[in-house]
Amino acid sequence: MEFKTVKDSKITLSELMLPSHSNFSGKIHGGYILSLMDQIAFASASKYSGFYCVTASVDTVDFLNPIEIGELVTLKASVNYVGRSSMIVGIRVDSENIQTGKVKHCNSSYFTMVAKDNEGKTAAVPGLILSNYEEVRRFYNCIKHISLKKHKNHHEEIFDYKSEAALKALESYNIQLDIK
Ligand SMILES: CC(C)(COP(=O)(O)OP(=O)(O)OC[C@H]1O[C@@H](n2cnc3c(N)ncnc32)[C@H](O)[C@@H]1OP(=O)(O)O)[C@@H](O)C(=O)NCCC(=O)NCCS
């Protein structure tokens, strides 16, 4: 079986933010940043695996700081975890004011990418060589995340949202039940 290092998956992408990327309040549109994140996740996973990949899921994306027109956005990506055909790519987005040199952390997220062969079938990816404790920490965080997601999905399947207790608990939220 083939093994590759995290370093083999590393990609950096920098782009100057143009007025055409902004929303009505003059900040850069979140959707544009998400599109750049998807591109770099695709590049990192495809470079690592040697197969073209598809996005299977995107972990929570919190926008920590707004990005202004004229700032230089840098995305860094690497594979943090591999399964058989799936890879979790960690992405960090920073934005730099090119006049002051001040750098802001704008978001971090995790994209699950799946390798596909030329017939469109999922393909086995190389095993991951963890070369330092930071890479071990990231791998473990992914294991924990996968396990929590399974637990959440199971809870959603068995949870009785129509029960009297579940409907009563909604009274503390900003809603009005109007079920006909
Ligand atoms: C993601 C996709 C390839 C999974 O296909 P599938 O037939 O369910 O394949 P499998 O059940 O064998 O899963 C393949 C791998 O994907 C992982 N996977 C599937 N769905 C997933 C999800 N929602 N989140 C995280 N991982 C997922 C599985 O855990 C498995 O990982 P492993 O091989 O490392 O163990 C398929 O659903 C797909 O092609 N989706 C559309 C992707 C796409 O077009 N993205 C762009 C959207 S515009």
Residue 157 domain flag: no
Relative to the CA of 116, which ligand 1 atom is closest?
3
State which residues form the domain around 92.
Answer: 3-130
| pLDDT tens sequence across 24-38 | 988 999 999 999 999
Among 117, 122, 156, residue to substitute to test ligand 1 (most atoms within 8 Å of Cβ): 122
CA distance linking residue 127 with residue 19, whole number of Å: 42
The percent of residues above 70 in pLDDT, for the chain, comes to: 100
CATH number of 103's domain: 3.10.129.10
The radius of gyration computed from the CA coordinates of the chain, to the nearest angstrom, equals 20
Reported confidence tier of residue 60, pLDDT bands at 50, 70, 90? confident
Residue 55 domain flag: yes
Q: Taking the CA of residue 67 as centre, how many other CA atoms within 13 Å lie in the half-sphere pointing to its CB?
A: 31
CA angle 82, 41, 43 (to 5 degrees): 100
Nearest CA to ligand 1 atom 29: 86
Residue 36 domain flag: yes
Relative to the CA of 87, which ligand 1 atom is closest?
34
What is the arithmetic mean of pLDDT over 142-166?
96
Residue 156 domain flag: no
Residue 139 domain flag: no
Neighbours of 18 (CB within 10 A): 11
Residue 167 domain flag: no
Q: Ligand 1 center to residue 116 CA distance, Å?
A: 10
| pLDDT tens sequence across 37-59 | 999 999 999 999 999 999 999 99
Q: How many domains does the structure of the chain reveal?
A: 1
Q: Ligand 1 center to residue 162 CA distance, Å?
A: 30
The percent of residues above 90 in pLDDT, for the chain, comes to: 97
Neighbours of 134 (CB within 10 A): 10
Nearest CA to ligand 1 atom 17: 86
What is the arithmetic mean of pLDDT over 66-87?
98
Residue 98 domain flag: yes
Query: Would the pLDDT of 1 be above 90?
Result: no
Residue 51 domain flag: yes
Average pLDDT, the chain: 97
Residue 78 burial class via C-beta count within 10 angstroms: exposed 0-12, middle 13-18, buried 19 and up: buried
pTM higher than 0.75, yes or no?
yes
Nearest CA to ligand 1 atom 11: 122
What single-letter amino acid sits at 88?
I
DSSP string, 5-22: EGGGG-EEEEEEPPGGGB
